[in-house]
Structure 1
């Protein structure tokens, strides 16, 4: 018998591949797809990451039940990917592998959010960390698996094509509408205040940086829709768009917290600023989704 060897073909990251009719390095497509998964994970599940009931259930849910849930979610992710997964090109798709990757993306999204929120920290019992991260990974991984369906339906390449607004105004309106709608799922709850009580200024600063990074990744790196900036007159760069959009998200968060009685700028700085930054994490993500849709 001849020497038969089984090898796993892996596309090198610097290999030139055809994606949507354009030739580009494979690493660019991989980064884009991972960004899509992370954005979808947070968009679908951020309210659950900010839910005290989830934190409490993680402490008491039996380990066998949690393991079964994780197994079921892996199978569900495989089914979600069958219809509209975070990857959209056949050349790179192994659907069970993609389902495993969505679990990893969900885990990363959960760890990042729970860490900056002060819900997991080095002195916390390892068993508690594993339970909380595992439980939150279930919805975040499903969000990653359906990222294209959740965020990929817009037509941003036609900035304000049929809208009575300038292309620059469309960016601002998309942020305001999407941010307000998404943050409204979090703003009335006590979780924002509870999270700030567990944070120090380092974690608050980390929340701010993560908010800006997520907003940038969702719109510019994930590439859910083509965007033509040549028609704009003022907001002509990705970084400027991200900065302006975060400021808008911050102001929306201040308004919502004032509306629901959690604080105003007339209160001491250490009362209103941390809560606004925490809520702006959700608002910035919603604003990014709004800009994609519009």
Structure 2
């Protein structure tokens, strides 16, 4: 059963008493700002427009469904609300998807990418594809634009939090690069020894950001499994590698069924960015 709070009901937000409608309006505006702040480059990226035309409907629907659970996970760590006065974070995740859809549709329309003259089926596919990064942007609005006031108490063990933060941060960061042709162009200019150096650099940067730079105080004693910095960097890279493989498959740049020299260098190149995002995720989320 869904409980609906009246628009003029008095609630407490940041120790202030105000109307529920005013708080909801501010939260939605915050989510919209986060959606555009994170994903505007992708809304203006030609590769995304082209991929929307060629991506199979089944793949798009699966990816869109998966993104809902990713948004839900981001809501657990961050969100677009200052305080979680709503009872259901699943509902907040659904609203974040709605914010992403509106932000994508409006931006693409005013930019002339979609119009009433464009085939509605193609327009719907493009909006659906762009909704994925915009909804994630809404889900991290407080972390990106709100001074970092994210949710502090998460229902995960310290070890699982490392994995989830690596996954979410890596996914968000890599999504801005994976649809573009630049990864493929980079690989065409690399030799095999440069691909190997990219792999080593990925591991080094991940370790450097989290273990050496000391952006935050971290208590490894609370962990049962990932209780060493080198192990965290290694596991985080494995997560980044798998995310990179998934994104390259979704956007049609390669799969593990292709020859090794096709998909492996691209995955390693993209995993460099994904690893960087995963390290940032473990610090921010």
TM-score by length of 2: 0.51
Closer/same/farther in 2, CA of residues 104 and 22 from structure 1, 3 Å limit: same
- Which residue of 106, 122, 141 corresponds with 2:116? 122
Match of 2:13 in 1: 19
Q: What pairs with 1:81-100 in structure 2 (closer than 5 Å)?
A: 81-100=75-94
> Quick check: 1:45 aligned with 2:45?
no
Question: What SS does structure 1 have at the residue aligned with 2:85?
Answer: helix
CA contact (8 A) 1:77 1:141 kept: yes
Question: What SS does structure 1 have at the residue aligned with 2:18?
Answer: strand
CA contact (8 A) 1:87 1:93 kept: no
> Quick check: 1:133 aligned with 2:127?
yes
Count, aligned residues: 151
Question: What SS does structure 2 have at the residue aligned with 1:40?
Answer: helix
- Which residue of 59, 63, 69 corresponds with 1:69? 63
- 1:41-71 deviations in Å (ceiling 9; x for gaps): 0000000000000000000000000001111
Match of 1:286 in 2: none
Partners of 1:70 and 1:25 in 2: CA distance: 34
Partners of 2:97 and 2:82 in 1: CA distance: 18
Q: CA RMSD in A?
A: 1.9
Partners of 1:139 and 1:110 in 2: CA distance: 9
Question: What SS does structure 2 have at the residue aligned with 1:92?
Answer: coil
Question: What SS does structure 2 have at the residue aligned with 1:32?
Answer: helix
Report the Cα offset of residue 154 of structure 1.
7.6
Report the Cα offset of residue 93 of structure 1.
3.8
- Which residue of 2, 15, 18 corresponds with 1:8? 2
Match of 2:51 in 1: 57
Partners of 2:69 and 2:106 in 1: CA distance: 24
Partners of 1:88 and 1:144 in 2: CA distance: 13
CA contact (8 A) 1:78 1:99 kept: yes
Match of 2:142 in 1: 148
Partners of 2:100 and 2:92 in 1: CA distance: 12
CA contact (8 A) 2:9 2:19 kept: yes
Match of 1:109 in 2: 103
Gaps of 5+ in 1: 1-6, 156-184, 186-294
Report the Cα offset of residue 91 of structure 1.
2.4
Question: What SS does structure 1 have at the residue aligned with 2:2?
Answer: coil
Q: What pairs with 1:255-294 in structure 2 (closer than 5 Å)?
A: none
Gaps of 5+ in 2: 150-175, 177-285
Question: What SS does structure 2 have at the residue aligned with 1:75?
Answer: helix
Question: What SS does structure 2 have at the residue aligned with 1:35?
Answer: helix
